[in-house]
Chains A and B, each alone.
Chain A
């Protein structure tokens, strides 16, 4: 790799640190820094005390921790197979301008991207090592090297998978069906799950844990275990040094394989007169892309200006996140069996917690087809000859509808597997899905419009981003809890006047929640109307 690229890495690292320090000089930056440091610490101390004394839960043993870390790493390694048609490396516009047009070999640019990932991983390792040292008194060196080598392994394996896919595409393998790798992966995973359940019995997690302890499981998971053993090592010799050497060897092998694949791809492109096949494969990763004619049929319905806004966001969702939506739909359908049968050994509270986390945190971060996804178009939206409340409602409708559909699918797949005594309770939740999501997305968008901010962090230690995220989570949880409590209280109050009728309770709670959601939309419209955020002052991602 050329010296200039090392210089660029050093300059970018220094620039990132300088930007962070400059952020600290502003009041907003300082507040976010305090939030990002202290709030997680307070929550962690609180949970630690609760789990140790009040809840009387045992802290995970090293063996359990190792098993779950190994399985997590396997999942992180398999995940890129779902997006195998993406390029192995993403080059930002400034990298295209300075590096792709610069006198650098293809190999040097690959190495630059790997070193760039390594420097980011080293920073993450440093943070984690400090945190675990202060929290648990763990051996910080092993946490640092473990994090560095593990993150690098994940990056290298995903780049290798994507390069291999590109090579297959150029060799016209899988040419008839670009999504074949995803389907193959899904089928393989399904078959493996069935085999595990058939061989070991119990829940899926129990069967998986039992398999990990067999000689075959031990052998197959050995490469992944190496990285976990480095992280959990509590002695320099032999644990840390020997496992690190093994992990470094795996990473080196992957790096050499990646460079080889990249050079083959490069020479293939010389022999291959056209990149058509590859371009088609690269661009057609979206299963849900449909013809524009089918979409424009929705246009005539104006609904006071809400219609065109919803139409625009729907089209955007279909074209930009078709595969993600399909994945979420599949996950929602599988969600019921996973929670009811796969995790049957776990307490109901844990399983409900997983479902709630998915609904409140995962889905809203994926469905950004609203004001959050229009950070640079707010001025344009304000210039439209439409009422602010029509725009606000139109902007919120798409993610609300899509989220509600996914959640209803999940509820449906769960209800089917429950016994008669339990499914009534879940069935009663169905009418609440829509008003709840409208409230949830109104809070998300209201917070965004009040304090617009980048959706993604600009680096490894973007405390402004983390501070704001913590602030956002706290605000969301506080407002949601308050609104649900008030609605339920109203329901309880009215039902007490109607001989404790369950129907009256649910109906009144639904009405109160719907009213709260409508009020929240009106507030979002008001904030949107009064906000002044020229697009060029919005913080841009790095």
Chain B
């Protein structure tokens, strides 16, 4: 099913591969989460969460509203501090060495917010300066072309639609070739063409060795796109592993036949 998609234009992002099959050389875990919990006041939003994502993997983060998906992603992005536990991004401890960890990171939040008064191109220029991307222009040009933003480069952020803002946010996150990409509901506001461009680019980046986490309520998209699955319920990990094995395991026990059935079966049982 995944092969049905046409190849996207060149993103300009290349990580050496072992062979033409696109198996990335980097197979060590790029994201290591160990015993992470997060409390807000008396309530525990994320509870003792542990998982790893290796280069080339696309992890689908799935759960009901309030399951702790966004909080988990914000902790991985270094925006929120975990109450307990540790996070390692590309070999760097996020608490002890946050700058090095964040240099390897690209984060796209659920509602993209851009700086009012700055144009699309100025956002890319700032992102390039932030991550020290030398001669960013060819890469930025390529990303603008891929994301169909060429004619919007001089448009002010406040004049863009939600989908366009999302694309600018994605372009900024892609610019420095991050080893780890975190997407929080990335398909919100995108048109069908935009969705296809984004999902194709995710596959390409994963094939080139990036570790990707995507949080989404669109289970069909997760099923099509992801290699691995992490299912959260009330902040706790209730299922984790290769997508096929999680779905297959449930199917074997007669509980489900697809991701949607797995989701309902597990969340109904409360994990």
Task: Decide: B130 and A4 in contact? CB cutoff 8 A.
Answer: yes
Task: Decide: A542 and B95 in contact? CB cutoff 8 A.
Answer: no
* Complex Cα gap A276–B39 (Å): 7
* Complex Cα gap A275–B131 (Å): 30
Chain A hits for B158, CB < 8 A = 540
Task: Decide: A103 and B102 in contact? CB cutoff 8 A.
Answer: yes
Using known A-B contacts A101-B79, A101-B105, A273-B84, determine if residue A15 contacts B116 with beta carbons closer than 8 Å.
yes
Chain B hits for A270, CB < 8 A = 95
Give the residue of B107, B112, B122 whose beta carbon is less than 8 angstroms from that of A15: B122
> Smallest Cβ distance from B119 to chain A, in angstroms?
8
Task: Decide: A98 and B172 in contact? CB cutoff 8 A.
Answer: yes
Of A6-14, A36-44, A161-169, A526-534, the one with at least 4 CB within 8 A of chain B: A6-14
Task: Decide: B118 and A12 in contact? CB cutoff 8 A.
Answer: yes
Using known A-B contacts A7-B126, A101-B77, determine if residue A94 contacts B39 with beta carbons closer than 8 Å.
no
* Complex Cα gap A105–B101 (Å): 12
* Complex Cα gap A98–B108 (Å): 10
Chain A hits for B77, CB < 8 A = 100-101
* Complex Cα gap A7–B193 (Å): 33
Q: Is A96 an interface residue (CB 8 A)?
A: yes
Q: Is A93 an interface residue (CB 8 A)?
A: yes
Using known A-B contacts A100-B79, A540-B158, A542-B117, determine if residue A4 contacts B39 with beta carbons closer than 8 Å.
no
Using known A-B contacts A18-B117, A283-B41, determine if residue A7 contacts B129 with beta carbons closer than 8 Å.
yes
Give the residue of A12, A102, A103 whose beta carbon is less than 8 angstroms from that of B115: A12
Task: Decide: A12 and B117 in contact? CB cutoff 8 A.
Answer: yes
Q: Is B40 an interface residue (CB 8 A)?
A: yes
Q: Tell me the chain A residues, 96-141 only, with Cβ under 8 Å from chain B.
A: 96-98, 100-105
Give the residue of A2, A3, A97 whose beta carbon is less than 8 angstroms from that of B109: A97
Task: Decide: A98 and B117 in contact? CB cutoff 8 A.
Answer: no
Give the residue of B79, B105, B125 whose beta carbon is less than 8 angstroms from that of A11: B125
User: Which B residue's beta carbon lies closest to that of A275?
Assistant: B83
Task: Decide: A4 and B117 in contact? CB cutoff 8 A.
Answer: no
Most chain B CB within 10 A, of A12, A94, A101, A270, is at A101
Interface string of B4-44 (1 = CB under 8 A from A): 00000000000000000000000000000000000111100
Tell me the dominant secondary structure on chain B's binding face.
mixed
Give the residue of A3, A92, A100 whose beta carbon is less than 8 angstroms from that of B129: A3
Chain A hits for B103, CB < 8 A = 103
User: Which B residue's beta carbon lies closest to that of A17?
Assistant: B117
Most chain B CB within 10 A, of A15, A92, A274, A542, is at A15
Task: Decide: B40 and A542 in contact? CB cutoff 8 A.
Answer: no
* Complex Cα gap A19–B109 (Å): 26
Most chain A CB within 10 A, of B42, B112, B117, B119, is at B117
> Smallest Cβ distance from B134 to chain A, in angstroms?
13
Give the residue of B107, B114, B122, B126 whose beta carbon is less than 8 angstroms from that of A101: B107
Q: How many A-B contacts are there with CB distance less than 8 Å?
A: 103
Using known A-B contacts A15-B115, A97-B169, determine if residue A280 contacts B41 with beta carbons closer than 8 Å.
yes
Task: Decide: A103 and B117 in contact? CB cutoff 8 A.
Answer: no
Using known A-B contacts A4-B129, A19-B156, A103-B131, determine if residue A94 contacts B79 with beta carbons closer than 8 Å.
no
Q: Is A16 an interface residue (CB 8 A)?
A: yes
User: Which A residue's beta carbon lies closest to that of B103?
Assistant: A103
* Complex Cα gap A100–B103 (Å): 12
Chain B hits for A93, CB < 8 A = 109, 111, 113
Task: Decide: B130 and A103 in contact? CB cutoff 8 A.
Answer: yes
Using known A-B contacts A15-B118, A279-B39, A280-B41, determine if residue A8 contacts B107 with beta carbons closer than 8 Å.
no
Chain A hits for B116, CB < 8 A = 15, 19, 94, 458, 540, 542
Using known A-B contacts A274-B39, A276-B41, A276-B42, determine if residue A97 contacts B118 with beta carbons closer than 8 Å.
no
Interface string of A67-94 (1 = CB under 8 A from B): 0000000000000000000000000111
* Complex Cα gap A458–B118 (Å): 14
* Complex Cα gap A283–B116 (Å): 29
Using known A-B contacts A11-B118, A274-B83, determine if residue A102 contacts B113 with beta carbons closer than 8 Å.
no
* Complex Cα gap A86–B127 (Å): 30
Task: Decide: B130 and A102 in contact? CB cutoff 8 A.
Answer: yes
> Smallest Cβ distance from A480 to chain B, in angstroms?
35
Q: Is B60 an interface residue (CB 8 A)?
A: no
User: Which B residue's beta carbon lies closest to that of A542?
Assistant: B116
Task: Decide: A16 and B117 in contact? CB cutoff 8 A.
Answer: yes
* Complex Cα gap A92–B112 (Å): 12
* Complex Cα gap A124–B197 (Å): 46
* Complex Cα gap A42–B105 (Å): 56
Q: Tell me the chain A residues, 266-298 only, with Cβ under 8 Å from chain B.
A: 269-270, 273-276, 279-280, 283
Q: Is B139 an interface residue (CB 8 A)?
A: no
Task: Decide: A100 and B78 in contact? CB cutoff 8 A.
Answer: yes
Task: Decide: B122 and A11 in contact? CB cutoff 8 A.
Answer: yes
Give the residue of B95, B111, B126, B172 whose beta carbon is less than 8 angstroms from that of A8: B126
Chain A hits for B112, CB < 8 A = 97
Using known A-B contacts A19-B116, A94-B113, determine if residue A4 contacts B126 with beta carbons closer than 8 Å.
yes
Task: Decide: B99 and A105 in contact? CB cutoff 8 A.
Answer: yes
* Complex Cα gap A12–B103 (Å): 23
Task: Decide: A97 and B113 in contact? CB cutoff 8 A.
Answer: yes
> Smallest Cβ distance from A453 to chain B, in angstroms?
15
* Complex Cα gap A18–B42 (Å): 46
Q: Is B81 an interface residue (CB 8 A)?
A: yes
Task: Decide: A269 and B107 in contact? CB cutoff 8 A.
Answer: no
* Complex Cα gap A458–B117 (Å): 10
Task: Decide: A98 and B41 in contact? CB cutoff 8 A.
Answer: no
Task: Decide: A97 and B41 in contact? CB cutoff 8 A.
Answer: no
Interface string of B73-92 (1 = CB under 8 A from A): 00001110101100000000
> Smallest Cβ distance from B159 to chain A, in angstroms?
10
User: Which A residue's beta carbon lies closest to that of B169?
Assistant: A97
Enumerate 20 A-B pairs (CB-CB under 8 Å) in ascending A order. A2-B130, A11-B122, A11-B126, A14-B117, A15-B156, A19-B156, A94-B116, A96-B79, A97-B112, A97-B113, A98-B115, A98-B130, A103-B103, A103-B130, A105-B99, A273-B83, A273-B84, A274-B39, A540-B116, A542-B116
Told that A104-B99, A269-B81 touch, could you supply 4 new A-B pairs with CB distance under 8 A?
A7-B126, A98-B126, A275-B81, A279-B41
Closest 8 CB pairs of A and B: A15-B117, A4-B129, A93-B113, A94-B113, A103-B102, A4-B130, A542-B116, A101-B77
